[in-house]
Amino acid sequence: MDTNTEDQVGASRTATISRDHRETVGNVRVDDPRIRCNGINVYYGTNHAVHNVNLDIGKNEIIALIGPSGCGKTTFLRCLNRMNDTIPGCRVEGEILMDGQNINDKEVDVVPLRARVGIVFQKPNPFPKSVFENVAFGPRIHGLARDKTELEEIVVSSLKKAGLWEEVKDRLEEPGTGLSGGQQQRLCIARAIAVQPEVILMDEPCSALDPIATAKIEQLMAELRENYSICIVTHNMQQAARVAVRTAFFHLGDLIEVGETTQIFTKPRHELTEDYVTGRFG
C-alpha cells in the first residue's frame, strides 16, 4: 500500500493555495478600522524585512500576529507606533492611517502617538522607580491629571484594570523591579493603559510567564478589548486561538494569510499557513 509520511502522522491537507503564492490570502480589511496599513515595507539597511503589507486593525478587536521566527512580526508591530524610528538603519515605507492621518508623516509627533498606541514588550521592563511612579510617569508627562488626587485616581484605576491592584496596593512605594515577572508584566500593561491609549501592541507578552500569570494576562486582554484594540504577537498557538478574533500569518516578510482565528487554525487556505498551524515547521 502506498503511504505517505503526512498520512502516517494523521494529517490531511485541505489548504488549496500553493506555497509559491506570496500575495496575502483573506480579507485584510475591516469596517471602520482603528488602524489601516497600506503598502508597508521595512528595510534594515539592505535587508527587506517586511514586504508590502496591507492590514487593518479593527476597533475593539484582538488580532494575533503569528509566524516563524524572523518572519517580521516584531518589525511590523513596531511600525504601528513608530518604534522602528529608534533603530539606526531601519527604514519604513507606506501609509499607516489613524483617523485619516498617516502616522508616518514627518510632522507627526511620536510622543503623543506612542501614548495613543502603547506597547508591551516580551520582557517586562518597568522603570527603576516605585510601582506608583511607573504608572504615574506617563499621565504626568502627558499632562493628564490636574492635581495629585487625579493622578492617584489614574494610577489606582490603571492598576485595577491591569488586574494588579490587590497585589500591590500595600507596595506602591516599593520598586517596580521588585515584583514578580508576571506582576511586572501587568505593571507594564498598567503603565500603557494609564495614558488612555486607543491601541495596545503586545510582543509575546506572556512568553516569560507561568500558566497562571499567562491566564491572568489573557483574561485581562479579553476585558481590555472592550475599550482598546489589541495587536498581539505570539508563538503560542493556543494563546492566539484563545484570545484573538482575527489572526495574521507572516512568513519570510510576507503577510501570507489573514482571517478569523478559527478559520486560520481549522481551515487555512494557504499551504504555508497549514504547515505552520499544524506544526510542520516553525
Ligand X SMILES: Nc1ncnc2c1ncn2[C@@H]1O[C@H](COP(=O)(O)OP(=O)(O)OP(=O)(O)O)[C@@H](O)[C@H]1O
Which of 82, 161 has the CB closer to ligand X? 82
Rounded to the nearest whole angstrom, what is the least distance from the CB of residue 54 to ligand X in the complex?
17
Query: Which residues form the interface with ligand X (CB under 6 A)?
Result: 44, 47, 49, 67, 69-75, 87
Which of 75, 239 has the CB closer to ligand X? 75
- State which of residues 15, 35, 49, 74 lies at the interface with Mg ion (CB under 5 A): 74
Q: How far apart are CA 233 and CA 119, in angstroms?
A: 11
Q: How far apart are CA 45 and CA 66, in angstroms?
A: 24
For residue 194, give the C-alpha cell: 494609564
Rounded to the nearest whole angstrom, what is the least distance from the CB of residue 276 to ligand X in the complex?
12
For residue 255, give the C-alpha cell: 503577510
Q: How many CA atoms lie within 13 A of 236 on its CB side?
A: 19
Which of 19, 123 has the CB closer to Mg ion? 123
Of 281, 275, 279, nearest to 15 by C-alpha is: 275
Rounded to the nearest whole angstrom, what is the least distance from the CB of residue 87 to ligand X in the complex?
5
> Considering CB under 5 A, how many residues would be counted as binding Mg ion?
1
Residue 49 binding partner per list ligand X, Mg ion, none, with a CB distance cut-off of 5 to 8 Å that depends on partner kind? ligand X
Q: Is 75 in the site for Mg ion (CB under 5 A)?
A: no
Q: How far apart are CA 54 and CA 51, in angstroms?
A: 9
Are the CB atoms for 96 and 37 separated by under 8 Å? Answer: yes
Query: Which residues of this protein are in contact with Mg ion, per CB under 5 A?
Result: 74
